[in-house]
Structure 1
Amino acid sequence: MSDDLMRAALNAAERGWHVFPLRPGTKRPALHGESACPRTGPCASGHRKWEDRATTDPDRIRAAWHRAPFNVGIATGPSGLLVVDLDVPKDKSSTDAPCGAATFKALCERTGQAVPRTRTVRTASSGQHLYFTAPAAVRLHNTAGTLAPLVDTRAWGGYVVAAGSAVDGTRYEVQGPALLRALPDWLKRTLVPPHPVNRPAAVAAARVHRPYVDAALARETAAVTAAPEGRRNATLLRAARALGRFVASGDLTRDEVEMPLQRAGESAGLSATECRTTLHSALDWSITHNHARTGVAA
């Protein structure tokens, strides 16, 4: 098993993809988080996250995978990849709920496009990862449900589990030809916001920098990242409710809360869909209740 996983990591690195170890049998990074950073070794000059430490160096890969049967994570941004993640519904009781593959196919049909054929990896949950080379001219980031329900993307700030890894005893496997295609232009146009040509710039209200707000955001994000199995969703819910008051007060935007908590929840082992659903309801609740309290106080 260790040899197979090391080979999977080396094969990915040979393609120019930057890899890092995931905890054996899981999708969670095996590297330490910021709160536990010893500030030594690679982090001597400051904490380096998994995206910064991902590598194509075969010697570093062999040294890491000799230690344990780590699964293989591919940092999509540094690897020049954009991966479309077609998820499956988590509620197994409903057989009518469409999967990500179905909603993505419907999107393609609505736009008059064929479903792109590119390197495809079947995930442990029977979903699919569609690999594309990312456009060099624009820096794409992760999205959650932007294209269609149960369709997420991984680019800068994201990672995918490489083929050859196994989660809950099920391997990630390449399906069909392994040929890697460039991201289609129509998908790129959907993911890249329109350039604000001749559009008057919106003047944002000046925000007073409050160190305790930044500290609260860092603290809650770290708590979600380190949440143990069985407490992950509850920790994410509590963090979103705690930080929602800063959205209600105008100290943080919703994106400034939602994006780091989404990444933290996925790093802890929750699915993108679980994180998105929990964050949406928790932030809505917190913003509504904190606005209500503000009105009463006034």
Structure 2
Amino acid sequence: MPHDPRPALLSAALTAAEHGWHVHPLRPGAKGSALHGERSCPRTGECAGGHRKWEQRATTDPDRIRRAWTAGAFNVGIATGPAGLLVVDLDVPKDGSDAPCGATSFKALCERAGVSWPVTYTVRTPSAGLHLYFQAPAGIRLPSTTKTVAPNIDTRAWGGNIVAAGSTTAQGTYETVNDGPAIALPDWLLHQLSTRPEPPQQLAALRIPGRATRRAEAALDREVATVRAAREGERHRLLLTRTIAMGRFVVWGDIPRAVVEEAFGAVGESVGLPAAECAATIRDALAYSARTCRPRETA
């Protein structure tokens, strides 16, 4: 008789909720949310007043958790922002990269700060990476980051999702290796995460000689400045539209795509947008430009 993984996954979800960590179902054997997206939103139940994203629907309610995890063999996701967590994701290099692994980079950061490796709740991933759980400081809304702390180190806070212990993918199972409490985020790491990256005032450090035209460079300076000056509530929209506007220069070969991605990624994070949101928005914007951009001679 086939093994039924649902009891173990339900137990993992309830265990996380007992810690006060808001959980939501992930697709069976995968890491993406199993909850409906905006396009397929029925506008009923929790979404009766408008679509609510997975982060808003994550819960610690044991009754809701039991109903969800008895309906399917869902992996367990933790919405780190509502859970009051900041999780440091120490990844391993992929595709034969010679970059240091996340654990090596994090150890170097600890040594630079003059502290030992923090003893906190820790999960080993199927790819041999580590997730270090910390309690986020009250009253500070830290965004998630992607490789801005150091090579192969991401952080998951607001806007972020982390796969909980007990979840399983084709690579293996997420396993708890330190079941102690999640300690408070160390001050040295809080300071590093609270220091937003400088938005590019000028792009000299990003430019590749002979690869960007003056017109494209001037346009990028202008569009980045528009995002930097955006008011709260307009930042995501402007990041999307100004990146679309720059996309034509990428299509025409006037500026390298990587330069545009780095400039908009830095300014997006500097105004408080989560790194993952910035990366997805920039990717979508440039893909849209590639589909719709007119030839230079007709533009």
Question: How high is the TM-score relative to the length of structure 1?
Answer: 0.69
Q: How large is the RMSD of aligned CA atoms in angstroms?
A: 3.8
2:54 corresponds to which of 50, 54, 58: 50
1:216 offset after TM fit, Å?
10
Which shows bigger deviation, 33-42 or 60-69? 33-42
Native 8 Å contact 2:16 2:23 kept in 1:
yes
Question: Which consecutive residues of structure 1, in runs of 5 or more, have no partner in the other structure?
Answer: 195-203, 219-239, 266-274
CA 142–216 in structure 1, closer or farther in 2 if over 3 Å, else same: closer
- Pair 1:189 & 2:191 matched: yes
Q: Secondary structure at the match of 1:126?
A: coil
Letter in structure 2 aligned against 1:99? C
1:33 offset after TM fit, Å?
1.0
1:12 offset after TM fit, Å?
0.7
Q: How does 1:78-227 map onto structure 2 within 5 Å?
A: 78-91=82-95, 93=96, 96-193=98-195, 214=237, 217=240
User: What is the aligned length?
Assistant: 240
* In 2, Cα distance between equivalents of 1:193 and 1:207: 19
* In 2, Cα distance between equivalents of 1:97 and 1:83: 21
1:207 offset after TM fit, Å?
7.2
CA 107–64 in structure 1, closer or farther in 2 if over 3 Å, else same: same
Letter in structure 2 aligned against 1:120? T
Partner of 1:25: 29
Question: Which consecutive residues of structure 2, in runs of 5 or more, have no partner in the other structure?
Answer: 197-224, 251-262
- Pair 1:76 & 2:83 matched: no
1:245 offset after TM fit, Å?
3.0
Native 8 Å contact 1:243 1:257 kept in 2:
no
- Pair 1:41 & 2:49 matched: no
1:147 offset after TM fit, Å?
1.3
| Alpha-carbon displacement from aligned partner over 1:183-223 (angstroms, at most 9, x marks no partner) | 001110111138xxxxxxxxx76779xx9x949949xxxxx
* In 1, Cα distance between equivalents of 2:64 and 2:92: 35
1:104 offset after TM fit, Å?
1.1
Q: Identity, % of aligned pairs?
A: 57
Native 8 Å contact 2:239 2:268 kept in 1:
no
Q: Secondary structure at the match of 1:45?
A: coil
Partner of 1:254: 264
1:242 offset after TM fit, Å?
4.8
Question: How high is the TM-score relative to the length of structure 2?
Answer: 0.69
Look at both structures and tell me which one has the larger radius of gyration over its CA atoms. 2
Letter in structure 1 aligned against 2:24? F
